[in-house]
Amino acid sequence: MSKTSNINRVDGFAKVTGSATYSAEYKTDGVVYACLVGSTIAKGKIKSIDTKKAEWAPGVLAVITHLNVDKPSGYQKAKDKHNFGQPLQIFKDDSILYYDQPIALVIADTFERMQYAASLIKADYFKEEHSTELKKAADKEKKVETDKGNDYHRGEHDGYKNAEVVLETEYTIPTEVHNPMELANIIAKWEGNKPILYTKSQGVEGTRRSVAGVFDVPAEDVEVHAEYVGGAFGMGLHTWPYEIAALIGAKKLNRPVKLVLHREQMFTNVGFRPYTIQKMGLGATKDGKLTGLTHEAVAMTSSYEDFMEGTVNMSRFIYDCANVSTRYRIVPLDTCTPIWMRGPGEATGSFALECAMDEMAYKLDLDPIEFRKRNYAEKDLEQNKPWSSKYLLECYEGGMERIGWKNRKNKPGSVREGEWLVGYGMGTGTFGCYRSPTSVKAKFSADGNLILQCSVNDMGPGTATMMTAIGAEIMGMPVENVIIEMGKSGLPKGPTQGGSATTSSVGSAVHDSCNLLVSKILGLANETPTFKGIPIADLTFANGLISSKNNSKTVSLASLLASNKLEDFAVEKQSKGNEEARKYSIYSFSVHFVKVLVNPNIGKIRLAHVVSCADIGTVISQKTSAGQMFGGAVGGIGMGLMEALEIDHRFGRPINNNFADYHVPVNADIEKQEVFFVNKKDPISNPMGTKGLGETALVGMAPAIANAVFNATGKRVRDLPITLDKIIETAKV
Amino acid sequence: MASKKTNQSKETEENSSSRRDFIKKSGLLTALAFTPPSLVMASENKWDEKIAEYLETVPLSIEVNGKKHNLNIEPRTTLLDLLREQLHLTGTKKGCDHGQCGACTVHVNGTRILSCLTLATMQQNAQVTTIEGLSKGKKLHPMQEAFIKHDGFQCGYCTPGQIMSGIACIKEGHANSREEIREYMSGNICRCGAYHNIVDAITEVKEGGMLS
- Nearest Cβ partner for B159 among A15, A253, A667: A15
B85 touches chain A (CB under 8 A): yes
**In a mutagenesis test of the A interface, which of B151, B158, B167, B190 is the best target, namely the one with the most A β-carbons within 10 Å?**
B151
- Judge if the upstream peptide bond of residue A721 is cis by omega within 30 degrees of 0: yes
Given a cut of 90, whether residue B181 has pLDDT beyond it is: yes
H-assigned helices in A147-229 = 204-215
Residues A548-583 have pLDDT tens digits of: 987 788 999 988 988 888 888 999 999 999 889 999
Structural domain boundaries in chain B:
17-55, 57-133, 142-207
**Residue B54 has what pLDDT?**
67
Q: How close A504 gets to chain B, by Cα (Å)?
A: 19
- Do B57-133 and B142-207 share a fold? no
How is chain A split among helix, strand and coil, in percent rounded to 5? Answer: 30, 25, 45
DSSP conformation letters of A380-416: BTTTTB-BS---HHHHHHHHHHHHTGGG--SSTT--E
HSE of B155, CA atoms in CB hemisphere, 13 A: 28
**Residue B39 has what pLDDT?**
54
Of all residues in chain A, the percent with pLDDT exceeding 90 is: 90
d(CA A187, CA A247): 9
**In a mutagenesis test of the A interface, which of B164, B186, B192 is the best target, namely the one with the most A β-carbons within 10 Å?**
B192
Catalytic option among A176, A205, A346, A695: A695
**Residue A550 has what pLDDT?**
77
Domains in chain A: ranges and CATH: 17-129+180-266 (3.30.365.10), 276-434+582-732 (3.30.365.10), 436-576 (3.30.365.10)
Residues A613-627 have pLDDT tens digits of: 999 999 999 999 999
Which chain B residues are Cβ-neighbours of A665 within 8 angstroms? 193, 195
Residue A730 — very low, low, confident or very high, per pLDDT cuts 50/70/90?
A: low
- How do strand A290-302 and strand A95-96 relate by DSSP bridges? unpaired
Residues B126-148 have pLDDT tens digits of: 999 999 999 998 999 999 999 99
**Residue B11 has what pLDDT?**
37
Q: Which H or E element spans position B180?
A: helix B178-184
Given a cut of 60, whether residue A268 has pLDDT beyond it is: yes
Nearest C-alpha in A relative to B19: A61
Given a cut of 90, whether residue B1 has pLDDT beyond it is: no
Residues A208-242 have pLDDT tens digits of: 999 999 999 999 999 999 999 999 999 999 999 99
d(CA A95, CA A45): 4
CATH fold of the domain at B142-207:
DNA polymerase; domain 1 (1.10.150)
**In a mutagenesis test of the A interface, which of B139, B178, B191, B200 is the best target, namely the one with the most A β-carbons within 10 Å?**
B191
d(CA B71, CA B49): 18
Residues B71-125 have pLDDT tens digits of: 999 999 999 999 999 999 999 999 999 999 999 999 999 999 999 999 999 999 9
**Residue A578 has what pLDDT?**
86
Residue A17 to residues A34, A225, A374, A627: CA-CA distances in angstroms? 28, 21, 52, 20
Q: How close A438 gets to chain B, by Cα (Å)?
A: 23
Residue B18 — very low, low, confident or very high, per pLDDT cuts 50/70/90?
A: very low
- Where residue A506 falls (left for φ over 0; alpha for ψ -120 to 50; beta otherwise) is alpha
Q: Which H or E element spans position B200?
A: helix B195-207
Asked whether A269 and A335 are in contact (CB, 8 A), the reply is: no
For residue A730, count CB atoms less than 10 angstroms from its CB and return exposed for 0-12, middle for 13-18, buried for 19 or more.
Answer: middle
Of all residues in chain A, the percent with pLDDT exceeding 70 is: 98
For residue B212, count CB atoms less than 10 angstroms from its CB and return exposed for 0-12, middle for 13-18, buried for 19 or more.
Answer: exposed
Q: How close B66 gets to chain A, by Cα (Å)?
A: 16
B48 touches chain A (CB under 8 A): yes
Nearest C-alpha in A relative to B196: A673
**Residue A88 has what pLDDT?**
85
Q: How close B125 gets to chain A, by Cα (Å)?
A: 22
Contacts of residue A258, defined as CB under 8 A and 6 or more positions apart, other chains included, come to: A24, A28, A31, A32, A33, A34, A185, A186, A187, A246
B21 touches chain A (CB under 8 A): no
B110 touches chain A (CB under 8 A): no
**Residue A551 has what pLDDT?**
76
**Residue B16 has what pLDDT?**
41
Residue A155 to residues A297, A320, A322, A409, B148: CA-CA distances in angstroms? 20, 12, 6, 36, 53
Asked whether B89 and B111 are in contact (CB, 8 A), the reply is: no
Which is more confident, A563 or A372? A372
Encoded amino acid at A722, one letter: I
Q: In this structure, what is the dihedral angle of CA atoms B166, B167, B170, B173, given to the nearest 10 degrees? A: -110
For residue A147, count CB atoms less than 10 angstroms from its CB and return exposed for 0-12, middle for 13-18, buried for 19 or more.
Answer: exposed
Nearest C-alpha in A relative to B52: A58
Nearest C-alpha in A relative to B83: A25
d(CA A507, CA A650): 50
Report the complex ipTM: 0.96
- Cβ distance A16 to B159 less than 8 Å, yes or no, reads yes
B93 touches chain A (CB under 8 A): yes
Asked whether the CA dihedral B17, B19, B20, B23 is positive or negative, the reply is positive
B84 touches chain A (CB under 8 A): yes
CB atoms within 10 A of CB A209: 15
- How do strand A152-154 and strand A673-677 relate by DSSP bridges? unpaired
* Averaged pLDDT, A649-653: 97
**Residue B25 has what pLDDT?**
45
B166 touches chain A (CB under 8 A): no
- Nearest Cβ partner for B193 among A18, A183, A631: A631
* Phi then psi dihedrals of residue B43, to 5 deg: -65, -45
d(CA A414, CA A423): 9
Catalytic site includes residue A695: yes
- DSSP, collapsed to helix, strand or coil, labels residue A317 as coil
CB atoms within 10 A of CB A129: 9
**In a mutagenesis test of the B interface, which of A25, A176, A181 is the best target, namely the one with the most B β-carbons within 10 Å?**
A181
Mean pLDDT of all residues in chain B? 84
Nearest C-alpha in A relative to B92: A18
Mean pLDDT of all residues in chain A? 95
Polymer length of chain B: 212
d(CA A632, CA A360): 27
**Residue A725 has what pLDDT?**
93
* Averaged pLDDT, A656-663: 98
Contacts of residue B171, defined as CB under 8 A and 6 or more positions apart, other chains included, come to: B110, B211
**Residue A85 has what pLDDT?**
52
Q: How close B154 gets to chain A, by Cα (Å)?
A: 4
Given a cut of 50, whether residue B14 has pLDDT beyond it is: no
What pTM value is reported for the model? 0.93
- Cβ distance A230 to B156 less than 8 Å, yes or no, reads yes
Q: Which H or E element spans position B163?
A: helix B159-171
Given a cut of 80, whether residue A716 has pLDDT beyond it is: yes
Asked whether A198 and A37 are in contact (CB, 8 A), the reply is: no
- Nearest Cβ partner for B18 among A61, A110, A180: A61
**Residue B7 has what pLDDT?**
39
H-assigned helices in A125-188 = none
**Residue B34 has what pLDDT?**
53
* Averaged pLDDT, A666-672: 97
Residue B43 — very low, low, confident or very high, per pLDDT cuts 50/70/90?
A: low
Exposed e or buried b for every residue in B27-43, given b needs 16+ CB within 10 A?
beeebeeebeeeebebb
Encoded amino acid at A602, one letter: I
Q: Which strands make up the sheet holding A122-127, listed edge to edge?
A: A95-96, A44-50, A122-127
H-assigned helices in A131-281 = 204-215, 241-253, 263-266
Polymer length of chain A: 733
Which chain B residues are Cβ-neighbours of A627 within 8 angstroms? 151, 154, 192, 194, 197
- Cβ distance B88 to A60 less than 8 Å, yes or no, reads no
Q: Which residues pair with A572 in a beta bridge?
A: A441
* Averaged pLDDT, A243-270: 98
- Nearest Cβ partner for A179 among B23, B93, B191: B191
Asked whether A234 and A220 are in contact (CB, 8 A), the reply is: no
d(CA A252, CA A106): 12
Asked whether A694 and A458 are in contact (CB, 8 A), the reply is: no
Contacts of residue A333, defined as CB under 8 A and 6 or more positions apart, other chains included, come to: A131, A132, A133, A134, A137, A300, A301, A302, A303
Given a cut of 50, whether residue A595 has pLDDT beyond it is: yes
- Cβ distance A254 to B160 less than 8 Å, yes or no, reads no
* Averaged pLDDT, A127-135: 98
Summary count for chain A: helices (H), strands (E) = 17, 29
CATH fold of the domain at B57-133:
Ubiquitin-like (UB roll) (3.10.20)
Given a cut of 50, whether residue A177 has pLDDT beyond it is: yes
Asked whether the CA dihedral B134, A630, A199, B115 is positive or negative, the reply is negative
d(CA A488, CA A456): 7
